[in-house]
Amino acid sequence: MKIKVFPVGSFQSNCIVIMDTDKKKAVVIDPGAEAEKILRDIQSHDCVVQSILLTHGHIDHIAQAGQFHEQTGAPIFLHKKDLDLFNQLPDQARMFGATVSEKTPTITHFLDVENNLILWEGLQFKIIFTPGHSPGSVCFYCEHFAFEKAKDEVVDLSLLLSGDTLFKNSIGRTDLWEGDYDSLIASVKENIFTLPDDTLVIPGHGPQTTVGFERMNNPFF
């Protein structure tokens, strides 16, 4: 499978696309901006978007989920504790001086932390509930991800899409909409730092890292 990271918009949030070019399927995580460019890239691989996954409900990660849904028909997944945030997208936009459609799309599925999210055969995520940055923040964890590193070279790795919970050498801010510092610290210690050291972490902003590197070097811990 291919994985591509697009830093998008003025916030430079990471929109992540995973594509299975054999099955012609794709999943989009946190489409905050530049939907047309990302859709063109997906279509250039002859893939079809199957699902739209949101790590949390802040504007820089959700602003164009509706556009993806309208153009692909793919369902949108979010944790129910961030539904209020999602529905306040126009208010969030006004706070940051941004412009979005006043028509907020409908969340079609709530993420179930009790069960794995099976996207297609060969790709499933464990939903890890990591409140703190927002009430309903989650991370997506794949224990065995068949990553196409290069042509004819596939490596099996553990993959974590951490949203704005954990960054390289940092953590998400907690001064927005029901953020809670103590909850975020507990989420990372109890739910992320228990994962294997070599787990590749792709955060919601900035460069990639690993669980082991953050456990040893992150100044917040």
**Per-residue pLDDT at 103:** 59
- For residue range 110-121, list pLDDT tens digits in order: 999 988 999 998
Count other Cβ atoms within 10 Å, centred on residue 54.
Answer: 27
**Per-residue pLDDT at 156:** 87
From CA 17, how far away is CA 68, in angstroms rounded?
Answer: 12
Output the furthest CA–CA distance in the chain (Å, rounded): 47
Looking at the structure of the chain, the number of domains it has is 1
Lowest mean pLDDT among 35-44, 46-55, 59-68: 59-68
Q: Angle between the 35-44 and 65-72 helix axes, to the nearest 10 degrees?
A: 40
Site of tokens 């199957």:
50
* Mean pLDDT, range 13-28, rounded to an integer: 96
Residue 111: domain span = 2-217
Count other Cβ atoms within 10 Å, centred on residue 73.
Answer: 10
From CA 73, how far away is CA 130, in angstroms rounded?
Answer: 28
CATH number for the domain spanning 186: value is 3.60.15.10
From CA 215, how far away is CA 145, in angstroms rounded?
Answer: 22
From CA 101, how far away is CA 64, in angstroms rounded?
Answer: 9
From CA 173, how far away is CA 194, in angstroms rounded?
Answer: 22
Question: 197 near 158, Cβ under 8 Å?
Answer: no
Residue, of 28 and 151, whose pLDDT is higher? 28
